[in-house]
Structure 1
């Protein structure tokens, strides 16, 4: 009998368990677009309170949250300042340009984060020959930065700098709740200086889909217009919103287990000849490591481990990512390390 797949490719690979499926089956539903789905309404109210905002909008994905936020905050031709490795730069199929019509002005930070001083250095006075800078966006935790958690003081200084310059602020919170669990800082405190922020349910929280975009009542009203415009209304979406409510009740605190397993994985990787990793940089559930063994690259190692039942994510020619989540237990981490080591020896 083949070994079950140990899927470390992403935390989006989680599967809803029996109790979550039961909650979905029992969900009270209605027409979400008309504001008549009680489960969606409950989730939006809870999410707004969690992030300390006036209102929230339930959307199919985090990418839609980002794209709608850009479109609400900006007009076509305006500029968004963000870190060079941000999700909106390289992982949303050019949506910033295609949907919102905005330009992205990247800041080269460290591990996906930049400072208020770096932001200030890139701000410019109004110039008719240049795009008008309208929005500053951050990503917490940072994906390409290895799951790094932004220091709260840095976020507050960046938000203050942006607002002083007349710019709006947006937080990509795909893994914001990982940051909350890892740091002990509340989601509302992280989002305090940001005019919009969102959280995802289909990653570490294990729901089958959905994300919540939050902000002021006026912002969310305009976001609902964009939801309709780009086909984001889901009608009786309380069925999946129920999974999100279940996830908040049952899967939030256990993110700490994923973080512990990520450290366990990183420590094991550090002991494997031919791999390089800085274990101290692993703060949450993302583990990045480099392949130094001669004759090996990321694609080759990914193929070799997949053949033995362990799926990893190539993130460059010789860079690899592994993501811990609720469907990978301690035995899975041990098995993954054994397979990676054996592949490199072979």
Structure 2
């Protein structure tokens, strides 16, 4: 991904603190990152001298390296033009899961205008034990709402590699497990694999600062978004799998949008199963690596392909899950949108060959 701005500037002066998010009964530990980029050093007011009403020369495409790159994440950042949107151009929270290591070393780099990488920032050591972690604080420090969806139809699912919803529902894949899934499902709306509306009204996914999604799952129901209408997607079986190279420098994922949500609350997150995942058992969150290998914050309506060079080296059968969500969705009894998120489970086979 190459920036279109002519003079993208590199980040420097990285700062990192342990910060956790509460998601239902689960505490997700993480690292809150901030850095200086251009004239943007984190002041709340006035805007940075190079802010230019949001058209600032700041990178969109970052890589976060933890522990010398043993854990890597692509972080794609977009930001609103209103004040203080510049805070979202220089901050990022990295999820480390419910059971993190005691300490991490972290550094970041950014993709520059010519497609090359900047030098890494300084490296920061962070203790992430429960006693060292503070509750996550939204850098915007105020209410955030959703941009309206575009178009008359809604939503979407991962297109490449294709999700189970795309294969079994949209494309009518003839595989035996896809046929069984169609028989179990009571909905054929492939682009709306979301939790039931009543569940989101009862316990909203959007809490005013970030998306809570883990609390909706009870084990073995990730692919269906814990929605009985898509129960067939949770079946254990020989799901058709896309081929991904085991050691690709970069890989581009695509998303089959039927509508864009591009408010500053909306995020994409991509996770991949652990090396010890057992394909003969239903998918649970414990089966996935705790840190998403790619995130996209806010989003660009013109982007349907999401490129990462941080996909962990894997071998054999795996599942990639995408969570796309933010403020929007059903209206509760008080007339407020609860938030919502869409789930895409993609079956893949990592090989030494090219992607198929």
Q: TM (normalized to structure 2)?
A: 0.22
Higher helix residue share:
1
